[in-house]
Amino acid sequence: MTIDNKINRLKALHTSMSEAERIAAQHARGKLTAHERIALLLDPNTFHEIGMSDSTQTNNTSNERNSSDAVITGSGEINGRAVFVFSQDFTVIGGTISETEGQKIGHVLDLALEQGMPIIGIYDSGGARIQEGVAALSGVGEILLRNARCSGAIPQIAVVVGPSAGGAAYSPSLCDFVFTVKNITQMYITGPGVVKSVTNEVVSHQELGGAEAHSHKSGVAHFLYDNEQECFRQVKRLLSFIPQNCTFKPPAVKIDDSPERCDETLSTIVPDDPRKPYDMKNIITAIVDNGDFMEVQSQFAGNIICGLARLAGNSVGIVAQQPSILAGTIDINASVKASRFVRFCDAFNIPLVSLVDVPGFMPGTEQEHNGIIRHGAKLIYAYAEATVPKLAVITRKAYGGAYIAMSSHHLMGDLSYAWQGSVIAVMGAEAAVNIIFHKMIAESPSPEEMCRKLVAEYRTHFDNPSQASKLGYIDDIIDPRQTRSILIKALETLRNKHQNLPQKKHGNIPL
């Protein structure tokens, strides 16, 4: 069947079905309609539609037009905060993007940027409208241009609750956060049919670009939920942590969790054996207000943890190693994940708290050949460039270049702390001794005994935070139980921090 015949069949099906039938078909797919999604997201009776009468012809040979084309755009409120929103309508020609739809979405993005308000895009579209030809591509381009222009100026949140195909899939990926729903989300540049024709690979829509594929494998998705209702509830939760735009600070909230609270479990949470894992998330929830932590990309690069929380009612971004996964080493995926999150927090005035337990960057030919140097440099660049308050707490160890990368004083970190018993060094004692004293150990009558002696001496002199503290690289060695109160006081100290970067058009981050 030719493309023209397929288009004509789709058009005939669309015109033969009533609106009620198209809505029923949408529900049968387990999906809400564009209007239902807006109602679920916004406060009641706050939605103001923009561009209601904008429409386009369904193809270039017909006079048939569709009211509002295949997208609903407007403004409203979420928990009393003004936002702009667009919701693609799959019941109208599969939500495909026409020239008009691109202009409508572009217009609402322009308004959001001009008004300094967050934009939430709800994606449910088959991509560019083929029957419009290059005019449809211009519509996609209008959206992508504005996504790039809005980046770092206003928060952009993408909710992908249907297909987002072809070049249009780049729009959600240009946003700050991508929300997905199991068995509904589909994102790919080329669909299964094209993949089969080009590579002879047989793959389903969900295997190729479903929510779980992008949450676990590609890292495109930041959040994954079982249904749309929970997804939209979590969009509202995310919004509560972030400001209206780059000139505002995040909203502060009243909390009933004492800033002076100490947590006794923190004194024993790190095992005595430095090789034993523990769950860093337990430290995070023990420190932040009421244990409320919204993790970002929880299914991707689990060896590093990123997310949003509050300390004394004020939003903070948390970046932390996860010793229970890959010993907390920083690999390519962890570098990319953390660096993008750090840059988001910096763009929107969210202070950064880094909890450090890192043995180093991941070694091996696979990592080296795939660019761990280039990707690891992203994390260094992100921290060095960030001008928000930056706090670091070393909970167990910080070795080598990874110590530098994780918000150290050397990258303009503001305040750095180390837990009692933690270690800061170029590398672990055993590895250091084997390099420095290799010849002495080999020539010793008892190499094993000599090695143990030298390791003990190295640990006494170097494998602890004392040297870093004496040199001013660590501001204090603290009791783990007092971490929360110390961080809150530090953030208060840095409340009015203002730092200017060298004048330039923009830096050249190693992408």
Positions annotated as catalytic residues are 166-167, 401-402
Contact 331, 405 (CB under 8 A): no
| Three-class SS of 344-379 | HHHHCCCCEEEEEEECCECCCHHHHHCCHHHHHHHH
Tokens of 56: 């386009």
Beta strands in 403-495 (DSSP E): 415-419, 423-425, 476-478
- How far from the centroid of its chain's Cα atoms is residue 238's Cα? 11
* CA-CA-CA-CA dihedral for 465, 471, 474, 476, to nearest 10: 80
Residue 100's H or E segment, with its range, is helix 99-115
Spatial separation of the C-alpha atoms in residues 407 and 388, rounded to whole Å:
11
Region at 97 (left for phi over 0; alpha for psi -120 to 50; beta for the rest): beta
* CA-CA-CA-CA dihedral for 319, 323, 324, 330, to nearest 10: 70
Spatial separation of the C-alpha atoms in residues 326 and 335, rounded to whole Å:
14
Strand 71-78 relative to strand 65-67, pairing: unpaired
| Three-class SS of 142-196 | HHHHHHHHHCCCCCEEEEEEEEEEHHHHHHHHCCCEEEEECCCCEEECCCHHHHH
Region at 341 (left for phi over 0; alpha for psi -120 to 50; beta for the rest): alpha
Backbone angles phi, psi at 319, to 5 degrees: -125, 125
Amino acid occupying residue 123 = Y
- Other CB atoms within a 10 A radius of the CB of residue 315 amount to 23
SS3 content of the chain, % helix, strand, coil (to 5): 45, 20, 35
